[in-house]
Structure formats: C-alpha cells, structure tokens
Structure 1
Amino acid sequence: MYTPRRRAKHVKKQGPFKFFRIIIILLVVVSAGLGFGYIFAAYQSLPPVSNNMRPAASSQVFDIHGRLITTLHSDQNRIPIDINKVPQNLQNAFIAAEDNRFYDHIGIDPRGIFRAIWANVTHHGIAQGGSTITQQLAKNAFLSQEQTLKRKIQEAMLALEIERKYSKKEILEMYMNQIYFGQGAYGIQTAAKTYFGKDVNELSLAQCAMLAGLPNSPNYYSPFNKLEIAKERQSVVIDQMVKYGYISQADGEKAKKADLELAKKKQSVLNPETSYFIDYVSQKVAEKYGDDALYKEGLKIYTTMDSEKQHAAVKALTALPDNYKDANGLTQPQCAIVSIDPHTGYILAMVGGRGQDSFNRASMAERQPGSSFKPFVYVTALQRDMTPDTIMVDKKVTYGNWSPQNSEKTFSGSMTLSHALALSVNTIAVQLAEKVGPERIIENAEKMGITTLVTKGSTNDVNYAMALGGLTKGVTPLEMASAYGTFANKGVHVKPTAIIKILDRNGNVLEDDSTNKKENKTQAISEKVAYEITAMLEGVIDHGTGTAAAIGRPAAGKTGTTDDNKDAWFIGYTPDIVTAVWIGDDTGNHTLGDVYGGTIPAQIWHDYMAVATEDEKTRDFDVPTGMSKIQPQEDSKEEKPEKKTDGIKKAADADKQKAKNDAQKAQQPALNNKNNKQ
C-alpha cells in the first residue's frame, strides 16, 4: 500500500509540469516559425547586390504653414580613388572609429548585434545600432534610412551577401568612396581636397584622423564650422587608433598637437533669410537619418518656421552697427535672434549671424549672459518664501577679495526685489545667491533647459559670480529663449524643436511631433513662481533697464551686458512668443563700446516683436487661481534710470572706447571681471 501511494503522488506532481513544458515548447516553436517567416519575407524583398544605388531624390523643406522653403540636394561632388592609393593611417583611422573588428567579422558583428539588441529592448525600439562598415555600405547603397526591424534584417542579409562577393579591401574602398564628409564632398579624395587642398595620399596622421571623424556628423564636426569641436572628435579617433594598436601613444599625442593646415574654405553666398534655420534643421535630420537620407531620399520635412516672422527677424537685425571686419572677413559685431512658441517649443524664427558664414550663433555660440541670467536667481528666491515685495538693501558687500559693483558704482539702500530686478542691481542679486545657494540656482536653470553650466571640477559655476552671469562656458541664445519660455508657459518647460513632421519619398511618416508629446514637457517651477517672476520682468520694460523694448502690449524681459562690454542681450516674451537677441564680438578682442542690453538688443527685440505679434490677440499674462494681479510698480523714492537709446548711434564708435574700457578692466580684481552691467 505504501509504494503505490508514493507512485500516485509522484504522477500527480508531474502532470502540471509536463503540461506547462509542452505549452512553452509550443510557444517557442510558434515564435521561431513567425521569426523565420518574418526573416524570409524580408529576404524576398531584398534588392540584388549587383544593382546600383536607387536614383537620388531631393528633399523638400516646408514652413509651419506648409509652404515650400527650399529643396535640399547634393551635387555629388565625388572623385573615386583606388584603395591602394589610400594611406594606411586613413584606412586604420576609419576602422578604429567605425568598426574595429572589420577584418574579423563576416559582415555582421555578433558582439555589436547583441549589444544593440539589449539597448533596443531596454529602450523599446531601435535605439542603438550594431552596424559594421559593411552594413553601413549596404544601407547607404540599397536601403532607406527608416529605423525598422525589417530594414535592420535586410541590412544584415545584404552585408553577408556583399562579404561573399567582395574582398575586405574592396568593401572598404567602396565605403570610403561613397560616404559624405560635409561641404558637398563625397568620398575621401574629394574630402581631402576640400578640407586640406591635398590628394588623399598626401594626408598626415592628424588629417587622416580628422577625416575619419567627420562621417559621424559632417556638419557638426566640420573644422570649418567649429574647430574646437572638430579637434575633440579628432582626439577620440586618435585615442581609438592607439587603443587598437594602429599607432603608438607618442604618435597619437603628436598628431593631436599638429597643425591641421586647413585649406581656405570656399566662400558661398548665403541667404540670411533662411540659411541658418535650414542648416539647423538639416543637421538635426542628418544626425538621425544620415546625410544620404537628407540629400538623396526625397524626404518631406515640415518645420516650425514661420516665414513672416523669419523675415521680420532678418529685417530687425539691420539695426546692427558695422564696427570693423575681422581677419576672416566677417563684419563685427555678430548677432543672433531666436524666437519660440513657449507652449509648443516650436522655433518660429532663427538667425545665427549676418549671413557671411555658416556658424549658427543662435544654437552653437556659448556666450556670457550678463544680467540676463539674474531671473534664475530671483526665481530661486521666490521659491524660498520671498516675494516681489521682499525688502533687500543695496549696499557694499564683500566675498573674499571680491566686492561686486553696480553699473553706476553707487548704492541705493533699501528696495523691493521687484525694483532691484527692474534696475538690475548687482549687489542684491549676489546677496540672494548667498541666501538661497548657488546650487539651487543652477538646478533651476538646468530644469528650464540650460545645459552648458559646469558643476564639477576646479573651475565651475557653483559660486556667487554666477548670479551676475559670470559663467565658465556661457549660454546659447536658443537655450536662453527656451528657458525664459518657462516663465511665459506657467512654469512648464518645453524642449525647443524645429521639426514637426518628416515623410519619406513614399509618404510614410518617419516622425511626427504635431501632437506636442508630453515627454518634451516638464513642470520646472510652479505656476505661482512663474507668474511672480513675469510680473517682476514686466517692470524691466515698464520702468527699468529695458524700456526701449516696449511694444504697447503686455511683455516681460531682461537686459544683459557683460562687464567687458563684449556681449549684450535682451530676452523677453509676451504670453505667446519668447525671443532672445544677442550681439557680440566673435573674436573676443573688441568691446561693443557704449552698447548695453537696453540699447541695440532691446531695439532689435522691439522691432521684431512689433511685427511678430501683429496677428496675436493682445492679452495679459494669466493670473493663477487664488492670486491677485500684480502690477509693475516703481519705488517712488528711486530715480528712474535714464534710457540709453543714445547708445545706438554711438555704437559705431565702439573701437574708440576700447583703450578706456580695457584700462578700467585692468584695475579691477580678477573676480570683479565677472561683474555685470544692466
């Protein structure tokens, strides 16, 4: 009796286990069948490797109203070259940068694939690629740039077929002759001529590393656009070459320091009306889909640009003075203006300079913000139970060997925070930074979209000079406009974007931001604090340092001028449009003279916004529930500052002021150089 009972018990336990095991096996078989079916379907639609590339189709760019702005196409400036004429350093640089196991894999790299699969699973999509050089050749030659599983499978299959038909040297030759290097240059021979004025076999190690780093993002890493960024990318390639044993550490360090001997860039006549915005959009598309997709895949790119506002921005910049021409033939000072819808993050207008070069100062120039950084200080104070009516004392304060000064070199005693911000009082801004802590100010600025602040290292922004805009790296006009948009949008920061929708040549949607995705929005500060700071910034235009910006409707803003007068800002907003204006000297060697944020920048802002708001309904800023409307009020005992509009006509004489300004600067302590005017 005992043994049968044990046997019966054992059978009873195994029954459910066997059932679940059968279910699991069935699921695996079905999944495998579906997977093989999917792969077979992808294989059936593969193009023959013997085919040439698909015919190129120009991409079209449209404005926010669906009107065609421009057509993007490539002239295919390409001179093919035999791989045997390509220096070994250049071949090695490409392999180190793009595919270090090129000579070992069969066209696909299992290690890279597993790494990509893991990233894709954790990101719920094709978030990271494991493409070899052969796969990149297959994609560029035969496939679209869409990020789908089917396309990735086809890419791998084509790579295997290419490896079967061609040698490694032939594959590397085809790849290097095909890829885009920016500046209209396709292939390494054309790139060598474009950037260095040399044949490819004459390139130095430093030049080889520079070229190998370009295909990753040709516009961004171009040494013609921003040499410092290009050198950083070159260093990465050189480090990879050292890591994989292609060159010694000593040769690598020598190459990093070597003169690139860049050729003179061919000057192109740019249309300042849209060129900077188009370049910005092109870079964003190329970073995501590749240059071939941008110039040859017939994309339809619907952007956020409002053509009327773009035209108004260009026209407003005619108020700039022409002080002198620098060594590169650029007229100084240079400028930037960027305008955003704070509710959607849509970039309505963008001008990144005078149209004499392709460097987009609106999105790429990191410049000192001066007092335009102060609203982040006051926002932090408002979060710490202070109000616009809190009384502070404008007095001499000393921190170590630094005593911040006001622009008039005088002190005015007790005043409200609202009045102190309207008149851009430096001593009170620094006292507030001491009370609330620099870390909290930086945290708020970062929440509102400022990404260039430095918080670690021996030189950083965690100090009181930061309250006056004395930063380690500076800020960009685009990010400052976006950050101020948080105030206009009830404390919600929306990431700026220039692209609404992209369609491929067949009309398939590659991306669509028209729904204004929630993941791009962050409640950075409370609605209450956003309204209070807005009311305070209305005072800047009503009776403070920015009266020249008044446009006859509710508006708020802030002036900013660096202590050395090399940068001047005005950033302001209505309930529906936020705009940043910057002017400054590219070289950093000349001052703007008698120019402040409240003069030319405020005038440019006024001229643009007067047109940009013509079709906007005049309305006041919304008052949060439970609050009363705050009226901009001027302290009666304080004298209203003189409006500095006469600085506009004096700006042309900026160079005459250089000696005087530099002499004054030399007499101040080093820390005081970070102090700022209005």
Structure 2
Amino acid sequence: MYTPRRRAKHAKHGGPLHRFRMLIVLLIVVMAGLGFGYIFAAYQTLPPVSNNMRPAVSSQVFDRHGRLITTLHSDQNRLPIDINKVPQNLQNAFIAAEDNRFYDHIGIDPIGILRAIVTNLTNHGIAQGGSTITQQLAKNAFLSQEQTLKRKVQEAMLALEIEHKYSKKEILEMYMNQIYFGQGAYGIQTAAKTYFNKDVDQLSLTQCAMLAGLPKSPNYYSPFNNLKEAEARKNVVLDQMAKYGYITTAQAEEAKKASLELSQNKQTAANSETESFIDYVSQQVAAKYGDDALYKEGLKIYTTLDTEKQHAAVKAMRDLPDNYTDANGLTQPQGALVSIDPQTGYILAMVGGRGQDSFNRASMAVRQPGSAFKPFVYLTALQDDMTPDSTMEDKKVSYGGWSPQNSEKSYGGTMTLRQALALSVNTIAVQLADKVGTEKIINNAKKMGITTLVDKGSPNDNNLAMALGGLTRGVTPLEMASAYGTFANKGVHVKPTAIIKILDRNGNVIEDNSNNKADATRVMSEREAYEMTSMLEGVIDHGTGTAAAIGQPAAGKTGTTDDNKDAWFVGYTPTIVTAVWIGDDTGSHSLGEVYGGTIPARIWHDYMVSAVDGESTKDFSVPEGMARQARQTVSEQKTTTTTKTQKETPNKTETKTADTDKTDTSDTQRSKSQQADKNNKAQ
C-alpha cells in the first residue's frame, strides 16, 4: 500500500530565508511609518487656502564689492480678469501647454507624471512637467520656491484642497491671474496689454499661443528679449493644441505664419549701464529658483560685476558705427562686449547691445567667428608635437575641389607658425587642421567652453572649413571670452559665472560660487598655454591686431567673416580676458570697411586701457624650465614674408593692414567634407 511521504520540515522556523522576509517586512513597516509621519508633519504646517499669499519682498543685486546695483521690485503689475472674458483659444492654449488632463484629474495627476517621465527619457515632444495647473497655483499662491520634498508634498496636499473647494473654471481663472509673464506683467490681462496693447478678449490665436508659452521661462521666452525663441515656443504650443484637438493642423500652420503684432510701446531695456548683466543674472536665478523667488522672496544676489569696468565697457562700445535703422527701430550694426577674470571665471563686465532692446548679444547671439577660431587649430598643432617655430609653406592647396585662399590671394612661402598666426594665413590654418584632425580641434574648443559646435548629423563642423571659422551655427561672445581665458589661465578652463552667492530673506546662504575653481578643467599644459600666448602676442605686436596694443603685455586674435558681416577681437592680459563682437542682427548686411583689426580692436583697446588701470602691470608667467620667448619685431616680420598685406603699413590701424583679417569665399567650391562651410573662410 502506497503511503505518501511527508514533506520534510525545516529544522528551525528561523532559517535564512525566513529571517530575510521578516527583515523586508520590518523595513516596509518602518518606512511606511516614517512616510506617514513626514506627510503628517507637512500637513500640520500647511498654510490655509483662504490665506492669499506670503508678503512679497524685493530682491537686491550687488556688485563684486558689495555695492547695491539695483532692486528687483516686488510691486506686481496685475489686472485681474473674469474667466468668462478669456477667449477659449487662450484657455485651451494653457491647458495644452501645461496640463492637458486638467479637467480629468483631482489636482494631482499620476498619469501626467508618468507621461512627463517617459517624455523626458525619450526626449520627444514637449516635456510637460509633472505639476498640474492646480499644483502650480498652489505653489505660486501659498508656498516658497524651495526645491524640497516637504514643499512638493505640501504642494500636492494644497492642490487636493483647492480642487475640493473650487471649480475647474475658478482654478483656471486664479491661475491665469496669478502667474508671471515677464516684463513685470502678472496675469493674462496685464500680459496682453504689455505685449500687444490689447485687452485679453481681443487676442488672436497666435497671440494666445505666445502668452501660453511664456510661463515656462518668462524672461527667456519674452519676445522683447528673444523674439526667435519666443516664436519657436509659440509654435510648440500651437502644435500641442493641434495634437489634442483644440484646433486643426491647418489652423496651427496658419497661426504660425501670422504676425504677432507686438506692441510698439514695449518695455525696452533702460539706459542703465548694467541692464544686460542684470537680465543675464535674473534669467539664471529665475531658471533655478523660479520667478516668484526672484521678484518676491527678498533674495540678496551678490554678483561678479565690477561697476567701474562695466562703465568703461559701455563707454568703449559707443564707438559703434551707425549704418542704418532696421524695421524694429534698432540702430545697426549692433555689438557686444564681455570681460572675464580668467582665474575665477567671474564676469566683470557685459554689454549686450546699444541698449535699444533687451536682447543680450553677449550671451545669446550665436555668430560666425571667422579667424578668431584659429587659435583652437594652432593649440591642437602644438599638442601634436609642433612648436611656434615649426615651419609650414603658405601655398595653394586643394581639398576635394575646395581651395582656401588668403584675403590678398597671394602666398608668402615658408614661414613659422608664429608668423602664420600673426598674419592670419588661411592656407596654413587649413593645412594644420588637415594634419592634426578636425575632431581633435573640435574637442579642444569644447573643453575650453564652446558649447555651440555641431559634431554629429548633417551638416556638422567636422570639416576643414571649421579651421577658418566656417561653422554650422557659430559662437557667442561670452563663450569665446571664456575659451581664450584658458590660455591666460595657464591651460586651465574655469566656467564663467555671474553670481558669487545668494542669500534668502533670512540671510541663509542658498548658493555659493565663491570657490568657482571647483569647475576648473585642465585642457592643455602650461607650456602649450604659454606658447599660444606668445604667438597671440604677435598678433598685437606686428600682426592684424596692432590697433589693440595697450602698452603692456597682451595677446589676442582678430576675426572677420565673409562679406564683413561679423568682426571680432578677442584678447587678454594675465588678469582679464575680453571679447568684442560687431555685426548686423540679421546677419545679412555687410559692415563695410570694418575688420576685426579696426573698430573691434579699438573698442577692446579703449576698454582694456581703463580696465587694467590701477592694476599691477605684469608679464605672462613663463613655465618652469622654459625661457621667455622674445617677440618678433616688425622689421624682422617683413624680412620673413612677402605677402602683399604685410608690405603695407602695419601700424596704421585704418589702412588695408586689416585685410588679412578679411574672409574671401567668393570662389569656394565645397567638397562633401566641407558641407558645413557657412561661407566663412576667414582672414
């Protein structure tokens, strides 16, 4: 007879698996208890929904010496409006852009949070944040902008309570009347008046979409500050409206093409000398802590600005020519100047234009650099076992049907790299790029702070035209100054910063960048940095940048692009690096007889003479084991080259000496490897 065998019992109930399960259960109980306790504590400190808002306190901005520059007033320009007077297009635009499930959720939206996570991970479409419109209202009306778990828990709790007490229409109305739209405008009615000089019920579809796109970043997307990005953001909102069925695709496309009809009484930048810098700092603070923190939390923002140097920068930039007035009422060409301490990365001065608008060209204008990009090529050559005294032949060369030419269409024969850089010889720069490899050059530029280079896809910058500054996009004056600062700082790049520290209304430090050297990256050896500096000193001593000479050790490089559309001078002393750019905003008009070695070099000179005044004059330090490299005289330079330009008077800054700084691409035949050549075979 079969007798089933009994399953063997464990010798002890306290075996390893059993103990592990008990540990997991215990951890879950403890974590749950802590979680409930944390939530209960957060609930206990919730502000009552009936209480409108914390008292607003203005924020203050100080310079590097602790002197007050300006106060960011908390007075709110607000004209509340009834939801029934808000056009449906505007309501739908906000919902499509910020919270498409607004009418379906209970104040918090788990589905929306998951969708936002997936969108951010896949990097497709518009990344709606996990916060609902109700949560944003709770945060803006009742809470601080601090990024803590407690604040997020309270935000969710308040959102649930608001949804319980108010209808969806009432919540949307409060939200639209609460949020900040930039230019000092709170609420949609004030925003409509500020940007379009209209009442909210008169707005067109394209205007509704633009307003709905502003809360994401009011300073950055303001059409008065950055029209191109404002248009792009508006188009994203229109696409969202079409995606969710609020408008048809045809309506969206029509609205994209429609004029915004911006108010002609726009709030332009004040004549304040520090306006560009203050806007730059404000955008950084708002992006990190929120607009309410910036305008209502009483922050004390200590910046890197040196007000004396800023005054000198504004004064120097008055040397811009007045060629014509464009359709927006702006005098062209515009210009920018940015000055940095290369050891700390502190931004000492920043001028973003003539002060006729709020577009900060120092940090936001992406323009072709021309031959101001060549130092990245020569640095890479030095890292490839060449020296400033290595020789190359200035001769006709061709690459896949493309023959780079010097501006005078003549050749100087054999010369050293030092001479070739001082005279900005195109053919040698291209030969060097071909020898060392374009990828290495791009990598060096990136390590030195240039973030706008394109190294993937088509077109891209991985081609020989890049050696002459022919880039897919271009560079900004701020990043060019920062990059050249690497040479001045003995091969170490320090990220630029405008903020030393920020205190909250109670004096607590919430940000401290006083040790900005923590962001330092060694890009080249001290020897390579010194060799580059000695070569760039030659540009000012006897090359294309003689107009920049300030009577003490200085190094720099000129840059002029095709048809003289952009002109640059970027240079440095041991303690200050400064970039100057001039160009037409549209990029379509020539500057005429303006080269990097003329007006930009003079502006650089005028600013730097003042900026270094009172500071101890010192030469660039020589690395241990190296001898100081003697500068070549003008007479020595003449005997080693037969180029037409150098035979002319190099010290007369208004002569054709600057022509070696001019781009010439009229007969360029691009090969496939030069597809990214943006008509910029510089200097």
Superposition pairs for residues 28-43 of structure 1, below 5 Å?
28-43=28-43
Structure 2 match to 1:273: 273
Unaligned segments of structure 2, at least 5 residues:
121-126, 671-676
Cα distance change, pair 670–318 in 1 and its aligned pair in 2 (3 A): farther
Counterpart amino acid of residue 592 in structure 1: L
Structure 1, unmatched stretches of 5+, are: 121-126, 651-656
Q: For 2:195, give the aligned amino acid.
A: Y
Distance 1:670 1:49, change over 3 A: farther
The offset of 1:117, in angstroms, is 9.3
Alignment correspondent of 2:595:
596
- Tell me the residue number matched to 2:562: 563
1 CA distance for matches of 2:492 and 2:158?
47
1:105-116 counterparts in 2 under 5 A? 105-113=105-113
Deviation at 1:152, TM superposition (A): 1.2
Range with bigger deviation, 538-547 or 459-468: 459-468
- What are the equivalent positions in structure 2 for 1:47-86 lying under 5 Å apart? 47-86=47-86
The DSSP-based 3-state class of the residue aligned with 2:192 is: helix
**Which residue of the partner structure matches residue 380 of structure 1?**
380
Residue 324 of structure 2: aligned partner: 324
Tell me the equivalent position of 2:534.
535
What residue number does 1:362 align with?
Answer: 362
CA distance in 2, matches of 1:395, 1:462: 23
Cα pair 2:366 2:474 within 8 Å, conserved: yes
Distance in 2 of aligned mates of 1:645 and 1:435: 33
Change (3 A) 1:455 1:622: same
SS in 1 for 2:216: coil
Q: Which residue of 2 aligns with 1:582?
A: 581
Match of 1:638 among 641, 645, 652: 641
1:613 aligns with 612
Root-mean-square deviation (CA, aligned residues, Å) is 3.0
Structure 1 segment 80-479 matched on structure 2, within 5 A: 80-113=80-113, 130-266=130-266, 268=268, 270-479=270-479
Distance 1:351 1:469 in 2: 23
Of 413-422 and 34-43, more deviation after overlay is shown by 34-43
Maintained 8 Å contact 1:569/1:581: yes
Separation in structure 2 between the aligned mates of residue 113 and residue 675 of structure 1, nearest angstrom: 46
Cα 1:135/1:645, change in 2 over 3 Å: farther
Any idea what the Cα deviations from partners look like across 1:548-603, whole Å, max 9, x if unmatched?
22223222110111131121111011222111011122243432222221122112
Give the secondary-structure state (helix, strand or coil) at the position aligned to 1:429: helix
What secondary structure, in the 3-state scheme, does the structure 2 residue paired with 1:564 have? helix
Cα shift at 1:620 = 2.9
For residues 399-420 of structure 1, the C-alpha deviation after alignment (integer angstroms, 9 at most, x for no partner) is: 3443322222221100011110
CA contact (8 A) 2:97 2:212 kept: yes
Contact 1:545–1:641 (CA<8 Å) still a contact in 2?
no
How big is the shift at 1:423? 0.8
Deviations 1:355-383 (A, max 9, x none): 12111110111121111011111112222
In the TM superposition, residue 546 of structure 1 has moved relative to its aligned partner by: 1.4
Deviates more, 1:79-88 or 1:131-140: 79-88
Structure 2 match to 1:674: 679
How far off its partner does 1:118 sit? 11
- Measured at CA, do residues 91 and 508 of structure 1 come closer, stay the same or move farther in structure 2, by a change above 3 Å? same
Q: Structure 1 residues 641, 104: closer, same or farther in 2, change over 3 A? A: farther
Aligned counterparts of 1:673 and 1:643: Cα–Cα separation in 2:
31
Corresponding position of 2:124: none
How big is the shift at 1:170? 0.7
**What SS is found at the alignment partner of 2:108?**
coil
Take 1:516 and 1:269, find their aligned partners in 2: how far apart are those partners? 30
SS in 2 for 1:470: coil
Secondary structure of the corresponding residue to residue 641 of structure 2:
coil
* Secondary structure class of the residue paired with 1:29: helix
Are the structure 2 counterparts of residues 382 and 103 from structure 1 closer, same or farther at C-alpha, using a change threshold of 3 Å? Answer: same
1:508 is aligned to: 508
Moved more, 629-638 or 382-391: 629-638
SS of 2:536 mapped into structure 1: helix
Question: CA 1:420–1:17 in 2, change beyond 3 Å: closer, same or farther?
Answer: same
Give the superposition deviation at 1:324.
3.3
- Once the two structures are overlaid, the 10-residue window that deviates more, 79-88 or 160-169, is 79-88
Deviations 1:4-46 (A, max 9, x none): 99968x2347434433433333333233222222222222211
Q: Distance in 2 between matches of 1:390 and 1:667?
A: 31
Q: What one-letter code is carried by the residue in structure 2 that aligns with 1:345? A: G
Give the conservation status (yes or no) of the 8 Å contact 2:353–2:360. yes
Residue 312 of structure 1: CA displacement? 1.5
Asked if the contact 1:341/1:576 (under 8 Å) is kept, the reply is yes
Distance change >3 Å, CA 315–CA 645, structure 1 → 2:
farther
Higher mean alpha-carbon deviation, 310-319 vs 346-355, is at 310-319
State which drifts further: 427-436 or 392-401: 392-401
Name the amino acid aligned to 1:674: N
Q: Is the 8 A contact 1:397 1:403 kept in 2?
A: yes
Q: Structure 1 residues 265 and 465 mapped into 2: Cα distance closer, same or farther (>3 Å)?
A: farther
Name whichever of 57-66 and 149-158 sits farther off.
149-158
When structure 1 is superposed on structure 2, of 14-23 and 210-219 the one drifting more is 14-23
Q: Which residue type is aligned with residue 505 of structure 1?
A: R
Query: What SS class does the counterpart of residue 583 from structure 1 fall into?
Result: strand
Instruction: Give, in angstroms, the shift of residue 49 of structure 1.
Output: 0.4
Offset of residue 351 of structure 1? 0.5
Residues 527 and 623 in structure 2, CA contact (< 8 A), matched pair in contact too: yes
Q: Is the 8 A contact 1:599 1:645 kept in 2?
A: no
**d(CA) in 2 for partners of 1:625, 1:167:** 74
User: 1:421, CA displacement in angstroms?
Assistant: 0.3
Identity of aligned residues (%): 77
- Give distance in 1, aligned partners of 2:13 and 2:382: 68
Distance 2:48 2:366 in 1: 49
8 Å CA contact 1:272–1:314 kept in 2: the answer is: no
2:543 alignment counterpart: 544
Structure 1 residue 467: deviation in Å? 1.3
Question: Which deviates more, 521-530 or 382-391?
Answer: 521-530
Query: Could you tell which deviates more after superposition, 205-214 or 641-650?
Result: 641-650
Partner in structure 2 of residue 483 of structure 1: 483
Correspondences of 1:487-498 after superposition (within 5 Å) = 487-498=487-498
CA-CA distance at 1:665 after TM superposition: 7.7
SS at match of 1:214: helix
| One-letter amino acid of the structure 1 residue matched with residue 573 of structure 2 | T
Moved more, 190-199 or 90-99: 190-199
- Aligned to 1:215, the other structure's residue is in SS state helix
Structure 1 Cα separation of the partners of residues 56 and 552 of structure 2:
50
Residue identity opposite 1:419 in structure 2: Q
Q: Which amino acid aligns with 1:83?
A: I
Q: Is the 8 A contact 2:558 2:569 kept in 1?
A: yes
Say which SS state the counterpart of residue 500 (structure 1) adopts: strand
Code of the aligned partner of 1:108: I
| Conserved? CA contact 1:372–1:559, under 8 Å | yes
AA aligned to 2:610 is V
Q: Is the 8 A contact 1:595 1:647 kept in 2?
A: no
Q: Could you give the per-residue CA deviations for residues 519-551 of structure 1, whole angstroms, max 9, x where no partner exists?
A: x33223333322222221121122211122222
User: How far apart, in 1, do the equivalents of 2:511 and 2:48 lie?
Assistant: 29
- In structure 1, the residue matched to 2:623 is 624
Cα-to-partner distance string for 1:458-509 (whole Å, 9 max, x where unaligned): 4332322221112222211001111111212222222211111112212222
Q: Which residue of 2 aligns with 1:23?
A: 23
The 10-residue stretch of structure 1 (317-326 or 11-20) with the greater mean CA deviation from structure 2? 11-20
Residue 118 and residue 226 in structure 1: after superposition, are their counterparts in 2 closer, same or farther (change >3 A)? closer
The offset of 1:626, in angstroms, is 4.1
> What is the one-letter code of the residue matched to 1:559?
T
